[in-house]
Amino acid sequence: MIDKNVYGPWAVVAGGSEGVGASFAHRLADAGLDLVLIARKPGPLAETAEQVRAKGVEVRTLELDLTDPGAVKAVRSVTDDVEVGLLIFNAGANSYGHEFVTGDLDRVRGVVDLNITGQLALTHHFGALMRERRRGGIILVGSLAGYMGQAQISVYSAAKAFSRVFAEGLWLELGEHGVHVLELVLGVTRTPAMERAGLRMDLPGLNVAEPGDVAREGLEHLADGPVWIAGGNEETARKRSGFPRAEMVRRAHEATKRMIPPPSS
């Protein structure tokens, strides 16, 4: 169980309306932490907030696109009067369906803006407050995609690689001030976002994790940073980290392209 005295009394979950984010919200509410849930979709956001509020904790919601230049100001408007001891950055954007040079550049920039720029902004704000208090935790939700470049998701993969390396450095910087940092690396996870993307999760032998399980792993291993690979995917991460790269990338591409939808016309 997450320790409210270390990571509370409030937690902010960016991308907290469904899937892994909603699972984090439920587990934190069970531990007695009050919550600020941030998401773009008002319907799922309100539904999750109602469910966790019924567990007896205070819940604030913020319908927000974290790529908006005024995002931090909006987040501060609902958090400056409370003590946030835990930040979970679960928001993410992908660009399935197009190769980079034939895709929409603005959409690709959106992937970078959310996965990198938005993450940095919230981490900078809340990390500074935690450093000053000398306690707290930050979970950045990453992906196995960040261990290897992949066709049709090259920018997403690069953004997730950035997040992992960033978390390792941040773990060193904040650790001496009592703040835990964890990059929680997910493999294929059965979330609404994955289903909307049309990814095939019924392939024989595919290791598919459930949102509740990976959220539990992340909270249980928050103090075991800088990186925790969820869902039993450690060996896959090791394989994707080896050399030489060319043949390794080709083999992984052949193995994974079956689950990625064909390029959109």
In this structure, is residue 264 part of a structural domain? no
Both ends of the chain: CA-CA distance in Å?
A: 47
Question: Which of 152, 75, 84, 157 lies closest to 116 in space, CA to CA?
Answer: 157
pLDDT computed for residue 160 by the predictor:
96
pLDDT of residue 229: 98
Question: What is the pLDDT at residue 98?
Answer: 79
The amino acid sitting at 41 is K
Q: Kindly state whether residue 40 falls inside one of the protein's structural domains.
A: yes
DSSP helix/strand/coil, 76: helix
Q: Can you say how many angstroms the Cα of residue 108 is from the centroid of all Cα atoms in its chain?
A: 18
| pLDDT (0 to 100) of residue 95 | 66
Give the structural domain span for 210: 4-259
Q: What is the pLDDT along the chain (265 residues), one digit of tens a residue?
A: 799 999 999 999 999 999 999 999 999 999 999 999 999 999 999 999 999 999 999 999 999 999 999 999 999 999 999 999 999 999 877 766 678 999 899 999 999 999 999 999 999 999 999 999 999 999 999 999 999 999 988 999 999 999 999 999 999 999 999 999 999 999 988 776 666 555 666 666 678 889 999 999 999 999 999 999 999 999 999 999 999 999 889 888 887 766 666 655 4
Instruction: Report yes or no on 265 lying in a domain.
Output: no
**In this structure, are residues 162 and 265 in contact, taking their beta carbons and an 8 Å threshold?**
no
pLDDT of residue 265: 45
| DSSP secondary structure, 188-206, as one string | SB--HHHHHTT-----TT-
- The predicted structure's pLDDT at residue 222: 98
* Nearest partner of 111 among 180, 50, 157, judged by Cα: 157
Q: Which strand (E) or helix (H) includes residue 125? A: helix 119-133
CA 251 to chain centre: 26
Relative to beta strand 84-89, strand 136-143 is parallel
Alpha carbons 243 and 251: distance in angstroms, whole number: 13
Question: For the chain, what is the domain count?
Answer: 1
Q: Of 46, 40, 39, 28, which is closest to residue 84 (Cα–Cα)?
A: 28
Q: Which amino acid is at 205?
A: G
The CATH number of the domain holding residue 34 is 3.40.50.720
Of 21, 256, 235, 59, residue with least CA distance to 156: 256
Going by the DSSP 8-state scheme, the letter that residue 66 receives in this structure is T
